[in-house]
Amino acid sequence: MPTYVCTVREGQLSPDQKSRIAAEVTRIHSEVTGAPTFFAQVIFEEVKPGNHFMGGVPLVHDQLYDQIFVYGRVRAGRSIQEKLKMIKLMADAVGEAAGVRRTGVWVYIAELPPRQMIEYGYVLPEPGDEQVWTDALPQEDREFMQSVGR
C-alpha cells in the first residue's frame, strides 16, 4: 500500500543505514496508521553526481549538504494529524539513521484513492478496513502477503 522512495546521492548510504531507514519508515507508517507492516515498501534510488540540481545549479554533495528525499505514496483517507505526525517522525528517524542534518531530510506524502490501486492482486481497501479486507482474501494469498517482510 504505502510506497516510500528515498532518493540519495550515489554511495551516500551504507547497507546498514538503508536497512535502518526502511525499518523506521515502515514502523512509523504502521504505528501511525495502524496498517500492517507487510503493506509498506521502501525503495532507494541513488543519483549520480551531476544529475541533481537545486536552484538551477548542480548540488554540491558533501556531509554538510547531504540530502535525503523521502517521497511517500499512500492511500487517501488519513487525517491531516496522522500525515503530519508521520512526516515529522520520519524526518527525524531518517536523519538520525543516515547521519544527515535536519535541514537535509525532505519528506513528502502524496495520496492516491484506494479504489484506484491494486496490490497483491486485489483492489485496496479504505483506510481502517485492512483487517476485513485481509480476512476476505483466499487463504493462500493471505498467507503469502503476511509472510512478506518476515
Tens of pLDDT, residues 62-121:
655 688 999 999 989 899 999 999 999 999 999 999 999 888 999 999 999 988 888 888
How far separated are the first and last CA of the chain, in Å rounded? 17
What is the extent of the structural domain holding 46? 3-147
- Nearest CA among 34, 21, 6, 1 for reference residue 96: 21
What are the two backbone dihedrals, phi and then psi, of residue 8, each rounded to the nearest 5 degrees?
-140, 165
Residue 16: give its domain's CATH number: 3.30.429.10
Please give the grid coordinates belonging to residue 97.
539513521
When divided into structural domains, the chain yields a total of 1
pLDDT of 1: 73
